[in-house]
Structure 1
Amino acid sequence: MSENKTVLISQEGAVRILTNSNPAARNAITPTLYAELSAALADAQADPEVGAIVFTGAGDFFSSGGDLNLLAKRRELPASERREKLEGLNNLIRAIRDCGKPVIAAVEGGAAGAGLSMALACDMLVSARDAFFTVAYVKVGLTPDGGATAFLSEFVSRQVLTEMCLTGDRMQAERLHALGAVNRLTDKGAALAEAIALAAKVAGGPQRASARIKTLCRQAHRATLEEQLEAEAVYMVESQADAEAAEGIGAFLGKRKADFAALRRQKQGAS
């Protein structure tokens, strides 16, 4: 395992594990995390040996969100500087969302505020059954950020979204699972292992096709049928000409398991 100031990086097979390590503050989000996690995602994206990424928090809590001590100091700054600093969070959310490889959140304990935003920005979410999720901002006189309302609106009604944001009440993982936001529930302490297992399942797939699938799934909820038909057609035409399709179709017709990893090794050796 290698260690940065905030992000711990480890590898299990083709799965890169990124851990927000600030347990004394329940893994509160800091500007250091913005830079380190964004860089770690870019490194994983560029590494041909990485097929999927798991993002988690150290200890028994995913993330308590923004550091209120830092936020209190920002009140003294001009509005333009406050906005500039907020873009650090926005860029991190974009980095999670736009990573070409699947990113899976492993949540223990809870995800609050921008911690919830980070968890929901991931492509899939594994959570301990006893974990909770809360928008929280209203309790300290603030409004949501980090895309929280955008992500939540994908699977809850306007009324439920409004209640969550105006009350700051906790929503248990079991309810989010029932609503479709959580892919898998686990016993306490088992979320990371389950997330790694899920990541390993998708890590061996065709990486170029997987990146296209991620894009299609990310935009599907806001696209019209015509827009989605067009996007699917563009990607299908591209995929049909790809070596991944030749391997996948050949393997199916030959009644063998497709070896997409071999294609990546061949490409790496040729470069």
Structure 2
Amino acid sequence: MFETIRYDVKDGVAWLFLNRPDKLNAFTAQMNREIKDAVKAASQNDEVRCIVITGEGRAFCSGQDLSEVDESMDHGDVLRKHYGPMVKQIRQCEKPIIAAVNGVAAGAGFSLALACDFRLVSEKASFINAFIHVGLIPDSGNLYFLTQLVGPAKAAELSILGEKVSAAQAAELGLANQLIPAEAFEDEVSAFAARLAVMPTKAIGLIKRSLKAASVLSFEDYLEQEAQGQRTAGLTADHREGVEAFLQKRKPVFSGK
């Protein structure tokens, strides 16, 4: 089904591996499409409760494969046709998405990690907003996400200077949700994904909607959005299960419905 990525579903988790290790998982137009299609497939699969995006080999993603770049290219069209749709699909997904950053995340690879809900980062990983080194601006939603996470001043520093950010520095800046020893990385990511896969999936999706709304709505409009979201959450099977489990003093078993 896919050529540039590997896609597996196991125990409620969709694993999406960027699979061009010889090129440090650099993006091609085909990889953009396949990531978009895989996230869409996971979004529509009721068996999937969580998505993990990671890289094969020693890199997460080194950004655009520069062998596909030529002087006649309209970079704006490339974003509109390939990167924009990929990032939009990730942001539209109402299931939790983990970026398991196993190695370098550079350029649009950094943007891909930023677009996810969680970033679990190996101690061997690093981030770099490398666009400035080829005379470009950060794209694929990079500055939109980065500014929210680290603030405008730090986002400007990382983008204009283009310096490498170590895994430890990423944790200090709030870019990493967890910093994980390399030897324990796969096990820790699997455990985190398994934890999310048994949580009330619909409520997670509604939380994601509310987080997006909070950044664009007035407080009054946000309160209405919140009320609508809570009404929807209150009608889910998971809410009923949560209440029943509380009253019965047992651990809830959520179905994601």
Residue 31 of structure 1, CA deviation: 0.8
- Tell me the CA shift for residue 47 of structure 1: 1.3
Q: 1:186 is matched with which residue?
A: 180
Match of 1:84 in 2: 77
Rounded Cα–Cα distance in structure 2 between residues aligned with 1:157 and 1:110: 22
Q: 2:230 and 2:188 mapped to 1: Cα distance?
A: 31
State how 1:47-86 maps to structure 2 within 5 Å.
Answer: 47-71=45-69, 73=70, 75-77=71-73, 79=74, 82-86=75-79
Matched ranges for 1:76-155 at <5 A: 76-77=72-73, 79=74, 82-87=75-80, 88-155=82-149
Three-state SS of the structure 2 residue aligned to 1:130 is coil
Q: Of 8, 30, 33, which aligns to 1:32?
A: 30
Q: What count of residue pairs does the alignment treat as equivalent?
A: 256
Bigger shift: 186-195 or 240-249? 186-195
Task: Please tell me the residue identity of whatever aligns with 1:211.
Answer: G
* TM-score, scaled to structure 1: 0.88
Q: Aligned partners of 2:190 and 2:200: how far apart in 1?
A: 18
Could you give the per-residue CA deviations for residues 62-99 of structure 1, whole angstroms, max 9, x where no partner exists?
Answer: 0000111212x1x214x4xx433222101101111111
> Any conservation in 2 of the 1:44–1:53 contact (CA below 8 Å)?
yes
Match for residue 6 of structure 2?
A: 8
Q: Contact conserved, 2:123 with 2:167, CA < 8 A, in 1?
A: yes
Q: Which moved more, 1:32-41 or 1:192-201?
A: 192-201
| Structure 1: gaps spanning 5 or more residues | 265-271
- Residue 207 of structure 1 corresponds to 201
2:226 alignment partner in structure 1? 232
Cα distance in 2 between the residues matched to 1:225 and 1:195 = 36
Q: Distance in 2 between matches of 1:29 and 1:243?
A: 40
Contact 1:107 1:191 in 2 (8 A): no
Contact 1:52 1:199 in 2 (8 A): yes
Contact kept? 1:113, 1:144, Cα under 8 Å: yes
Please tell me the root mean square deviation across aligned C-alpha atoms, in Å: 1.7
- Asked if structure 1 preserves the Cα contact closer than 8 Å seen for 2:150 and 2:175, the reply is no
1:23 to 21, 24, 37: 21
**Equivalent residue for 1:176?**
170
The whole-number CA distance in structure 2 between the counterparts of 1:231 and 1:54 is 28
Greater CA drift, 177-186 or 215-224: 215-224
Shift of 1:233: 1.4
Following superposition, the deviation at residue 240 of structure 1 comes to 1.5
Equivalent residues in 2 for 1:243-258, closer than 5 Å: 243-258=237-252
SS at match of 2:53: strand
Over the matched positions of the two proteins, sequence identity in percent amounts to 35
Letter in 1 for 2:59: F
